[in-house]
Amino acid sequence: MTTTPTSAARPDDLRRHNRALVLRRLHVSGPSTRAALAAETGLNRSTIKALVDDLAENGVVAERVPTRRTGAGRPSLLVLPQPNAVVVLAVDIRVDQVAMALVGLGGQILGRCSWGLRAETRVPRETLTKIVDNCELLIEEAGVEVAAVGASAPGVVRRADGLVHEAPNLQWTNVPLGAWLGKALDLPAYVANDAELGALAEHLRGAARGIDDVVYIGADVGVGGGVISSNAPLRGTDGYVGEIGHMVVRPDGLPCYCGSQGCWETEVGEAALIRALGLPDDAPRGVIAAELHQLATQPAELMQRLGEFAQWLAIGLCNLVNLLCPRLVVLGDLFTELPPKLIEHVTDLVRKRSMVSRALGGVRIVTSSLRNDVKLLGAAELAFEQVLATR
Amino acid sequence: MTTTPTSAARPDDLRRHNRALVLRRLHVSGPSTRAALAAETGLNRSTIKALVDDLAENGVVAERVPTRRTGAGRPSLLVLPQPNAVVVLAVDIRVDQVAMALVGLGGQILGRCSWGLRAETRVPRETLTKIVDNCELLIEEAGVEVAAVGASAPGVVRRADGLVHEAPNLQWTNVPLGAWLGKALDLPAYVANDAELGALAEHLRGAARGIDDVVYIGADVGVGGGVISSNAPLRGTDGYVGEIGHMVVRPDGLPCYCGSQGCWETEVGEAALIRALGLPDDAPRGVIAAELHQLATQPAELMQRLGEFAQWLAIGLCNLVNLLCPRLVVLGDLFTELPPKLIEHVTDLVRKRSMVSRALGGVRIVTSSLRNDVKLLGAAELAFEQVLATR
């Protein structure tokens, strides 16, 4: 299928484009031989040689003779991305904690820290100050130079400038997080919705690697979703990503703070799961996980207590599958604790109720493989996207 | 925002890319001066001159001195796309009729025909035969050469080969429409979902011109939707587009043939509108339109009879807005008959219930400006996309 051209191409763009292509390949797929790079990018060997030589001269990659030789003749040199050569800072802001990491070229975590948030420490300015302090400590410890910062926030984010328009569970409204981070750290700063970054991370480094059409759903206090469609992140007007958790699944359901009622979040978010399990309202994450772990061995009891929860989960997933035709759905955060039997049951329900799922021969539903690091890695990739394209 | 490179660029691609860019610009925006083409494409004047000279030599464009001169000096030549130079056949298959047209470069309809479908004439093979016969007649009348065929079908279509997987309201299953059309007409043939083509047409030539993020909803017997996201059509796995009409909005609603219940289609499709208006089950389109036209002048009566219908319409739209963050929603087919007062009311409901609508400063909801021709023009653009990219 051809694509419709939307902007002019110039000879000067070629080299930069191809350099970014090779660098990106190494970042995402790891060490490769020159021959493999040529095969995978479609560039000829002499172009690859020139690009790699230049990257090596700048210390961004190193080359060595592979230890295991394949076939006769001169072996193709192995090109290794150098983690410390390009480093970004990743920040994952959640309702109950902030996690930070330095991530190097190739996706390796070079240092990390985290701290808890409570209602009184969740104020934007205080959070920012702590991020800046910890950033300095992390950089000092790792002894690296940071090229950019990527941050994840649980709310409606304007991609162009990283304005957090509304993050209801943090009680943040119109916080210019991107501008603040950029200024305070003196770095290019990028901010995105947490579930969008979950989708990005699973797509590049997790359960959805190599799959072009993916929906990621994260359930924390709220429920959010991110979409990879035709191998690219789905964004709407001004770069906003959707609020999947506020899809109405039960028109006569509980009122939601968003102004609607019966939102998916109110039916399958943390509070709903706690209700379904019959746990106290303030049950901590560990208790919920332990309860689910125990239920996993009692199928009858599991279905009795979580049967209705599964129905609502399935209805929302059906809607997403019918709208977006993904090959794979990845469930993250709290949902990673759901027993496999329940996931199977939900998958069956989706297949029965979704004509698109049937057209696709059944959509797979799995839990996140990156688990707790998913948004941190997504935030790093958000920064790498920009850094590697212009390197 | 930079984009991530996914394939190699080569010098040979440049000229083809830029030629397609200019041709596309002329096709979509109509006659332009060389100066405007340079400004809009970002190509320099000598490149534009070479490309336009070449197109003129091949009869694809003509040049003339503009009648109205602006400013002093030598006027920039006006470049006019020649409709007969590149012609495609567009086919719009609906539940109750087939419409066909020859569409020339620039989007002009050069000839058209249509015929009604009934249950007994809706069989795929018979429909195909009639399309082929009428195509020959149209071509003979217009005296043109056809470069490709684009077709619209109301169902789940696999874009890669134009297989109509399931078109429930036509009662078609696994019809290889793309392969059949291609073989019978000896032309490249492309098939897509009708609502996807509605979105494409409104985006290029209708109410959504120049808007990057658009949702189009068409309500005929069924309800379908197409999405333009970041200026490109949204497609999922294998090029399938979503079945927006089968989003569940009323979990305890009427059973739907798709295996689910309370689908949006069952709540706001033609049958639902007929129920809400209290008309006989088999009321023809004209009677529905007349009834709506009359209600438009009686606001109280309108809200009494269509208030609940509006609620369901709004809930589905909220879900789409919350998921896809469009700038504009275009309502097509039967929905174009809805009174403006009702559309305003629905817009208000969406604003109240959707946090994304509020983040975007309110999403506009309008009715289709291309009305009955929307899918025909969309089918033509589907074919032009391919033809102009390789011309």
B2: in domain: no
pLDDT value at residue B298: 94
The stretch A18-40 carries a mean pLDDT of: 92
Three-class SS of residue A297?
A: coil
Looking at the structure, tell me whether residues B60 and B97 fall in a common domain. no
Q: How confident is the model at residue A158 (pLDDT cuts 50, 70, 90)?
A: confident
Flag whether pLDDT at A213 surpasses 50.
yes
Q: Which chain B residue has the Cα nearest residue A23?
A: B5
Give the CA distances from residue A366 to residues A337, A341, A370, in Å, rounded to whole numbers and listed in that order: 11, 12, 12
User: Interhelix angle for B177-185 vs B124-142, to 10°?
Assistant: 40
* Residues of chain B found within 8 Å of residue A38, distances taken between Cβ atoms: none
Question: What are B30's two structure tokens?
Answer: 């109509």
- DSSP readout, B102-136? EEETTS-EEEEEEEE--GGG--HHHHHHHHHHHHH
Cβ within 8 Å, pair A326-B212: no
The stretch A214-218 carries a mean pLDDT of: 96
Looking at the structure, tell me whether residues B180 and B224 fall in a common domain. no
A325: in domain: yes
* Residues of chain A found within 8 Å of residue B234, distances taken between Cβ atoms: 229, 234, 324
Looking at the structure, tell me whether residues B34 and B58 fall in a common domain. yes
A143: in domain: yes
Instruction: Compute the Cα dihedral for A218, A220, A223, A226 and give only its sign.
Output: negative
A335 to chain B, closest Cα gap in Å: 20
What ranges in B157-243 are assigned the alpha helix state H? 177-185, 194-205
* Residues of chain B found within 8 Å of residue A178, distances taken between Cβ atoms: none
pLDDT value at residue B2: 39
- Show which of B48, B81, B114 is a domain's final residue: B81
Q: Which residues are bridge partners to B109 per DSSP?
A: B103
pLDDT value at residue A221: 84
Residues of chain B short of pLDDT 50, as ranges, are 1-3
Domain that holds residue A284: 207-369
Looking at the structure, tell me whether residues A361 and A336 fall in a common domain. yes
Q: Which of B186, B193, B187 is nearest to B172 (CA)?
A: B193
- DSSP readout, A218-280? EESSSEEEEEEETTEE---GGG----GGG-BS-TTS-B-TTS-BSBHHHHHSHHHHHHHHT--
What ranges in chain B are assigned the alpha helix state H? 11-29, 34-41, 45-57, 124-142, 177-185, 194-205, 264-268, 270-277, 285-295, 299-324, 340-353, 355-359, 374-390
Three-class SS of residue A29?
A: helix
A173: in domain: yes
Q: How confident is the model at residue A243 (pLDDT cuts 50, 70, 90)?
A: confident
B202: in domain: no
Cβ(A377)–Cβ(A370) below 8 Å: yes
Between CA A389 and CA A379 the distance in angstroms is 16
Report the side by side order of strands in the sheet with A163-167.
A156-158, A163-167, A172-175
Cβ within 8 Å, pair A247-B323: yes
Mutate to test the interface with A, among B200, B237, B263, B351 (most CBs of A within 10 A): B237
CATH of the domain at A141: 3.30.420.40
Q: Which residues are bridge partners to A102 per DSSP?
A: A89, A111
pLDDT value at residue B5: 57
* Residues of chain A found within 8 Å of residue B324, distances taken between Cβ atoms: 234, 236, 242
Between CA B379 and CA B387 the distance in angstroms is 13
Three-class SS of residue B327?
A: coil
Residue range B114-156, pLDDT digits in tens: 999 988 778 999 999 999 999 999 999 999 999 999 999 998 8
Our measurement of the distance from residue B282's CA atom to the centroid of its chain's CA atoms, rounded to an integer in Å, reads 27
B2 to chain A, closest Cα gap in Å: 6
B4: in domain: no
Cβ(B88)–Cβ(B152) below 8 Å: no
Q: Which of A124, A187, A191 is nearest to A152 (CA)?
A: A191
Neighbours of A305 (CB within 10 A): 15
pLDDT value at residue A2: 39
Looking at the structure, tell me whether residues A116 and A184 fall in a common domain. yes
Between CA B82 and CA A189 the distance in angstroms is 48
Looking at the structure, tell me whether residues B364 and B241 fall in a common domain. yes
Between CA A18 and CA A50 the distance in angstroms is 11
* Residues of chain A found within 8 Å of residue B4, distances taken between Cβ atoms: 20, 24, 232, 385, 389
Cβ within 8 Å, pair B5-A389: yes
The stretch A272-276 carries a mean pLDDT of: 95
B7: in domain: no
Looking at the structure, tell me whether residues A151 and A238 fall in a common domain. no
Q: Is A237 exposed, middle or buried (0-12, 13-18, 19+ CB in 10 A)?
A: buried
* Residues of chain A found within 8 Å of residue B13, distances taken between Cβ atoms: 9
Chains A and B form CB pairs within 8 A to the count of: 224
Rg (CA), chain B: 22
Q: Which chain A residue has the Cα nearest residue B165?
A: A359
CATH of the domain at A17: 1.10.10.10
Flag whether pLDDT at A127 surpasses 90.
yes
Between CA B192 and CA B172 the distance in angstroms is 14
Looking at the structure, tell me whether residues B189 and B229 fall in a common domain. no
| Total count of domains within chain A | 3
**Considering all CA atoms of chain A, what is the largest pairwise distance in Å, rounded to the nearest integer?**
72
| Residues in Cβ contact with A284 at an 8 Å cutoff, skipping those fewer than 6 apart | none
Looking at the structure, tell me whether residues B121 and B173 fall in a common domain. yes
Cβ(B215)–Cβ(B326) below 8 Å: yes
B3: in domain: no
Tell me the pLDDT of chain A averaged across its residues: 91
Cβ within 8 Å, pair B236-A213: yes
Flag whether pLDDT at A326 surpasses 70.
yes
Q: Is B255 exposed, middle or buried (0-12, 13-18, 19+ CB in 10 A)?
A: exposed
Of A324-333, A357-366, B208-217, least confident by mean pLDDT is A357-366
pLDDT value at residue A1: 35
pLDDT value at residue A166: 85
The stretch A118-126 carries a mean pLDDT of: 86
Cα angle, residue A99 at apex, residues A94 and A102 outer, rounded to 5°: 140
Share of chain A above pLDDT 90, in %: 76
pLDDT value at residue A14: 79
The reply to whether ipTM tops 0.90 is no
A38 to chain B, closest Cα gap in Å: 10
Looking at the structure, tell me whether residues A168 and A212 fall in a common domain. no
Question: What are B101's two structure tokens?
Answer: 């047209």
Looking at the structure, tell me whether residues A106 and A140 fall in a common domain. yes
Flag whether pLDDT at A129 surpasses 90.
yes
pLDDT value at residue B3: 46
Cβ within 8 Å, pair B354-A246: yes
Flag whether pLDDT at A265 surpasses 70.
yes
Own/partner long-range contacts of A298-305 (Cβ < 8 Å, ≥24 apart): A299/A341, A302/A339, A302/A341, A302/A342, A303/A345, A305/A276, A305/A277, A305/A278
Amino acid occupying residue A384: F
**End-to-end CA distance of chain A, in Å?**
30
Q: Which of B177, B33, B103 is nearest to B387 (CA)?
A: B103
Q: Which of B124, B185, B133 is nearest to B155 (CA)?
A: B124
B127 to chain A, closest Cα gap in Å: 23
* Residues of chain A found within 8 Å of residue B235, distances taken between Cβ atoms: 229-230, 325
Looking at the structure, tell me whether residues B213 and B276 fall in a common domain. yes
